[in-house]
Chain A
């Protein structure tokens, strides 16, 4: 993509001079059965324009009806974020023309959100807890999905035509808006990532969203501005839209800080605008100018009546909340027997749920940790992806572990198998079968390889005979080589001892 190369200032240098101010708008798609205002199914991935009714197509004459479950989910999100719940709230129309918005207005909450004035504590990697204040969480409907055809970039500029899929139109969203976040300093990118991870963890625990960032279930708009250290007035902010992975949240905030610093250092002003995040280049580019005076001509939605929340209803919903994340972590750490450092690493890697599910599916806590924090983390790092996006599931690990337990494969082969899983070749068993990776523990085949090795290394044989059993390791190399790494090391050892008439 042809792109203007942005001037950047090194991150650490930038933060010697400036303090970053952050703000986040996180959109959470709810996993209700039907849409926000219509009875159309809320299902991802179906044939375009099949999950629609006259209401979510905005046909003449239709009227919206609020999905009560969506309201309950929104209230539960508000409660989990320690928000106040409005006794009475309503919807407004946000008027703008765009073809993914069938009515040419979005029905959204405006000046009376269902939840407001909350907070969430974010634990950073060094164990420090950072409180993020929540301004509001409000309900709205998602737009349809535009696909721009032709042109080089897949963007609307230069496209020959565009296709629109209204399956997503009207899907319930809760938008969570933070107050401005000051004082994060150098940890701004880390805090950004941890905040979004925490929101994702909460909505997943509440079971109100599928919470898959790669599907857009959780989408983050990140606001960044810089102010000179000691200054009182915030700098001009930019809003980087649709940052759709945890790593990208970190990277986007970091990039904008580096870019802002360069612009400010040059004496120029930051343009208040939206920015597009590009995962491939890890850069942002200019979107459209955004002023606080964007005129959406909001007015109260006359087709809907206000939502009244009674204390009884709120308490009923509060009772449905799962264990708060902090308590849950404490409980899991104790149950798994991880050290503080080990557990914090697990949380920071965002694999708490994976480990929990892996253990629930039948492995030990140690095995689960070994895989998720070891080989899988390494593969994710190599692929520059989030662990969650790697395609490895708790089921993969359970299967892998039982193959090891059954001595079908050894640890080394298991790591290879995992790589093939990531490459999309199938389940571990399928891969072992297809690639003939099962370990060789056929005594005849192993015996031949051992005999050859012992013959080639008489001095080693002598050492073993002399009682230095650890010298057997030297025989392993040639045996493994002869069996293409598929020998069962334990069996090889037993056979060597047997052949030399030594008690193991």
Chain B
């Protein structure tokens, strides 16, 4: 494997600054890796679109600025020239945006998401758009209309979802950084099952403008990376107030890089870590529980005070989530009707009235899971059912927030396994939505309360990654970087290196791709 792609984003950035590597070399190395392992019969299939020309052009521009030196070179963002992959739910000018749906096949956005504008301004070459469950609905990336992504640890297993493409791209060294979106765990659960790092920022911490909305009150864009420090750099870049997003917090991005650097000392003295009683034990695989317990021990040994906290209303979280989320989905996805953009399907027979064209378009354009949620949400919002469903679910949301408030009175951060299980086999849960939904049981409460969460690699269970999740109070994302980096350091010391070093080698031979 080319050594360049093994580098973390911050390592690569340092070498770019030092002139040891050019950005064009870095981008080309990643494009080569994508060409080698992404497209074959058993390829990772993390990418829906590869943005070769533009990525190389941006890299060349950064190289030219660096070569010229002077103020402009000095002013370059620390991540300038470091390539990044973008979840295909985030709109980009000049590249297609599909949301992994037939509904948007071939659609080109006329505008950039706010996070994309920031990435362009910082001159990170965009490698392309990554796969996801259609409109981010799913926990396995199997609901993509363009075929599933495979887990680099085991190509017969799912990479998590909905952001399986971004997580798999980062885990398989196709990209050092990626953007994800997290509505109920779509950054963190894929991070957990691919042995990578993913952060869901505080709601409002990163602009949602240009992220195709799934559930507006729950969605957040966040960083996907291989290290906590890399995530901090990317998070600081994309975060901050955006006047185009009314729900964006009007305050400075916290000092996340500094927090990660502080955590990397491994010292946890004085940090109170709350173990959420309800997010462990029954329903969690033994191997997951074992890695979780070991992580707690490592933190305790490093000086953390471990306390148990109880969040009794979390047992309603999943049910409430599956009322609020689909309700918002049913409204947010109404705009996909074939009238103004995207796919338009005409009914095969009968008159071409607007209702029938909209109906035929939505029948053909949406996949099963999307339709399931639209129908569920339409029902939940209907007159006569609203109070019992949407109304009750909103009350549960308040109760979950209160549970968190009480827990954070006792602990600085909370900890749980990110996912109750390791990556399952492709196809094994596709016909069992309820079992699929349970993958997000530990990640959903953070979205319901608007608080931030991080997943860091916690070791392996039967050769597959286990993720450890930390949660912090709203606006206290920095705490996640502190404890995340600490756990990362403690565990890597115990493993004698990165978890991803234990992943199987991927090549054109293993993926059926082109050498």
Q: Do A and B bind each other?
A: yes
The answer to whether A95 touches B381, judged by C-beta atoms less than 8 angstroms apart, is yes
Q: Is the CB of B210 within 8 A of A61?
A: yes
User: How far, in whole Å, are A267 and B215 apart by their CA atoms in the complex?
Assistant: 51
Complex: how many Å from CA A60 to CA B136? 14
User: A243 CB to closest chain B CB, in angstroms?
Assistant: 26
Cβ proximity bits B385-427 to A, threshold 8 Å, 1 near / 0 not: 0100010000000000000000000000000000000000000
B496 neighbours in A (Cβ, 8 Å): none
Q: Is the CB of B390 within 8 A of A57?
A: no
A99 to B110, CA, bound (A): 21
Q: Are B335 and A104 in contact (CB under 8 A)?
A: yes
Most buried by B among A57, A59, A102: A59
B340 touches A57 (CB 8 A): yes
Kindly specify which of A135-143, A172-180, A300-308, A367-375 makes contact with the partner chain: A300-308
Q: Distance in Å from the Cβ of B4 to the closest Cβ of chain A?
A: 33
**Residues of chain B with a CB closer than 8 A to A104's CB:** 334-335, 337
Binds A, one of B32-40, B57-65, B243-251: B243-251
Which residues of A have CB within 8 Å of B355? 97
Question: Among residues 327 to 357 in chain B, which have CB atoms less than 8 Å away from a CB atom of chain A?
Answer: 327-328, 330-331, 334-337, 339-342, 354-355
Q: Nearest chain A CB to B180's CB is how many angstroms away? A: 15
A58 lies within 8 A of B381 (CB): no
Chain A residue with Cβ nearest B338: A99
User: Are B247 and A303 within 8 A (Cβ)?
Assistant: yes
1/0 per residue, CB under 8 A from B, across A454-467: the answer is 00000000000000
- Complexed CA–CA distance, A67 and B216 (Å): 20
Asked whether A97 and B91 contact (CB < 8 A) given A58-B340, A60-B212, A61-B209, the answer is: no
**Contact indicator B245/A63 (Cβ below 8 Å):** yes
Query: Does B382 sit within 8 A of A, measured CB to CB?
Result: yes
Give A contacts to B, CB under 8 Å.
Answer: 54, 57-66, 93, 95, 97, 99, 102-105, 162, 164, 293, 295, 297-299, 302-305
Q: Could you give 23 example pairs across A and B, Cβ below 8 Å?
A: A59-B341, A60-B107, A60-B336, A60-B341, A61-B109, A61-B111, A61-B213, A63-B213, A65-B246, A66-B246, A95-B330, A104-B337, A105-B331, A297-B331, A297-B378, A297-B382, A299-B328, A299-B386, A302-B247, A302-B328, A303-B216, A303-B247, A305-B247
B194 located at the interface, meaning its Cβ lies under 8 Å from any Cβ of chain A in the complex: no
Task: Tell me which residues across on chain A come within 8 A of B291, comparing CB atoms.
Answer: none
A97 surroundings in chain B (CB, below 8 A) = 334, 337, 355, 358
Chain B residues whose CB sits within 8 angstroms of the CB of A304 once the complex forms: 246-247
B36: shortest Cβ distance to chain A, in Å? Answer: 32
A64→B90 CA distance, assembly (Å): 17
How far does the alpha carbon of A99 sit from the alpha carbon of B357 in the complex, in Å? Answer: 11
Taking beta carbons and an 8 Å cutoff, which residues of B are in contact with A? 90-91, 97, 99, 104, 107, 109-111, 113, 208-213, 215-217, 243-247, 327-328, 330-331, 334-337, 339-342, 354-355, 358, 378, 381-383, 386, 390
B69 to chain A, nearest CB (A): 38
Nearest CB of B to A270, in Å = 23
Give the chain A neighbours of B208 by CB distance below 8 A: 63
Closest to A303 in B: B216
**Which 10 A/B pairs are nearest by Cβ-Cβ distance?**
A104-B334, A297-B381, A302-B216, A302-B217, A61-B210, A60-B212, A61-B91, A295-B383, A58-B335, A61-B212
Q: CB-nearest residue of chain B relative to A38?
A: B244
Residues of A within 8 A of B212 (CB): 60-61
Q: Could you list 14 further interchain pairs (A-B, Cβ under 8 angstroms) beyond the known A65-B243, A66-B246, A299-B327? A: A60-B107, A60-B341, A60-B342, A61-B213, A63-B246, A65-B244, A65-B246, A104-B335, A164-B339, A295-B383, A297-B330, A297-B383, A304-B247, A305-B246
In angstroms, Cα B111 to Cα A95, docked, is: 26
Residues of A within 8 Å of B378, CB to CB, are 297
Interfacial chain B residues near A95, Cβ < 8 Å: 330-331, 334, 381
Of B113, B381, B382, B390, the contact of A61 (CB 8 Å cutoff): B113
Minimum CB–CB distance for B26 against chain A, Å: 29
Q: Which residues of B contact A57 (CB under 8 A)?
A: 340
Q: Are A102 and B91 in contact (CB under 8 A)?
A: no
**Contact A61/B246 with A95-B334, A103-B335 known, Cβ cut-off 8 Å:** no
Give the docked Cα–Cα distance between A259 and B169 (Å). 70
Q: Are the CB atoms of A60 and B99 closer together than 8 Å?
A: yes
Min CB gap A276→B, angstroms: 19
Nearest B residue to A93, CB-CB: B331
Known pairs A60-B109, A303-B246; A99 contacts B331 (CB<8 A)? no
* In the complex, chain A residues whose CB is within 8 Å of the CB of B334: 95, 97, 103-105
Q: Which residue of chain B has its CB nearest to the CB of A103? A: B335
CA distance A305 to B111 in the complex (A): 24
Are the CB atoms of A303 and B213 closer together than 8 Å? yes
Q: Kindly provide the distance from the CB of B189 to the nearest chain A CB, expressed in whole angstroms.
A: 23
Say yes or no: A62 contacts B209, CB within 8 Å. yes
Closest residue of chain A to B355, judged by CB? Answer: A97
Given A99-B354, A103-B335, are A59 and B109 neighbors across the interface (CB < 8 Å)? yes
Given that A302-B217, A303-B246 are contacting pairs, would A102 and B340 also be in contact in the complex, using a CB cutoff of 8 Å? yes
**Hey, which chain B residues are within 8 Å of A58, CB to CB?**
335, 340
Q: Are B247 and A59 in contact (CB under 8 A)?
A: no
What are the residues of chain A within 8 A of B335 when measuring CB–CB?
58, 60, 102-104
Residue of A nearest to B99 (CB): A60
CA distance A173 to B134 in the complex (A): 36
Q: Which listed residue (B91, B215, B331, B354) contacts A60, Cβ 8 A?
A: B91
Bound-complex Cα distance A489 to B341 (A): 70
Minimum CB–CB distance for B396 against chain A, Å: 16
Task: Judge whether B340 and A60 touch: CB under 8 Å.
Answer: no
Residue of B nearest to A164 (CB): B339
A79 to B211, CA, bound (A): 39
Chain B residues near A61 (CB-CB < 8 A): 90-91, 97, 109, 111, 113, 209-213
The smallest C-beta distance from A272 to any residue of chain B, in angstroms, reads 17
Query: In the complex, what residue of chain B is closest to A161 when comparing beta carbons?
Result: B352
Residue of B nearest to A293 (CB): B383
Structural contact, B381 and A54, CB atoms closer than 8 A: no
Closest to A166 in B: B340
CB neighbours of B390 from chain A (8 A): 299
B284 to chain A, nearest CB (A): 31
When chains A and B are docked, how far (Å) is the Cα of A302 from the Cα of B216? 6
Please, how many angstroms separate the alpha-carbon atoms of A58 and B245 in the complex? 15
Shortest beta-carbon distance from B483 to chain A in Å: 30
Identity of the chain A residue whose Cβ is nearest the Cβ of B112 in the assembled complex: A61
- B91 — nearest CB in chain A belongs to which residue? A61
Q: Considering the chains assembled together, what is the distance between the CA atoms of A57 and B358 in angstroms? A: 17
**CA–CA, A95 and B243, complex, Å:** 26
In angstroms, Cα B378 to Cα A170, docked, is 24
Report the Cα distance A102→B161, complex, angstroms. Answer: 30
- A80 CB → nearest B CB, Å: 28
Cα A93 to Cα B335 in complex, Å, equals 13
Complex: A71 Cα to B243 Cα, angstroms = 17
**A93 vs chain B, min Cβ distance (A):** 5
- What residue of chain B has the Cβ atom nearest to residue A66's Cβ? B246
**Closest residue of A by beta carbon distance from B391:** A299
Q: Shortest distance in angstroms between A95's beta carbon and chain B's nearest beta carbon?
A: 5
In the bound complex, how far is the Cα of B216 from the Cα of A97, in angstroms? Answer: 20
B109 near A63: Cβ-Cβ < 8 Å: no
Q: How far is the CA of A60 from the CA of B339 in the complex (A)?
A: 13
Chain A hits for B247, CB < 8 A: 63, 302-305
